[in-house]
Amino acid sequence: MAVGTYSKLTVLEMHNRPNWWRVWVNRNPVSPPIRLPGSHDGLMPTTKSECWDGGTGGMCNDFPYSFRDVSIAHAPGGDWQQLTDG
């Protein structure tokens, strides 16, 4: 992906399948259904990034990133609403 390119990342609980989730990039599914026991009505949405040095003991890579137009699905499968407190 080129520098300055934006992608839409979605992690969404599947409609009519409590505790089953999928990852989407640019509105395309990129993962199989993933079972997360106890996750239905039990997770709070977060956005974060991590860095790993590959176990070399060196420094992590430096990369800029940003979030924009963050929305939260208030029901499995959708019902998106703009994040207003975060």
Q: Which amino acid is at 9?
A: L
Q: Is residue 58 situated within a structural domain?
A: no
Domain that holds residue 23: 7-38+70-86
Per residue in 15-70, pLDDT tens?
899 999 999 999 899 999 999 999 888 777 777 777 777 777 777 766 666 777 78
Q: Is residue 60 situated within a structural domain?
A: no
Cα gap 12→72, rounded to integer Å? 9
The alpha carbon dihedral of 53, 54, 56, 57 has a sign of positive
Q: Is residue 57 situated within a structural domain?
A: no
Partners of 8 in beta bridges: none
Q: Is residue 34 situated within a structural domain?
A: yes
Residue 78 in this model has a pLDDT that exceeds 70: yes
Cα gap 40→19, rounded to integer Å? 5
Partners of 24 in beta bridges: 10, 29
Total of domains in the chain: 1
Residue 86 in this model has a pLDDT that exceeds 60: no
Q: Is residue 44 situated within a structural domain?
A: no
Position 30 scores a pLDDT of 96
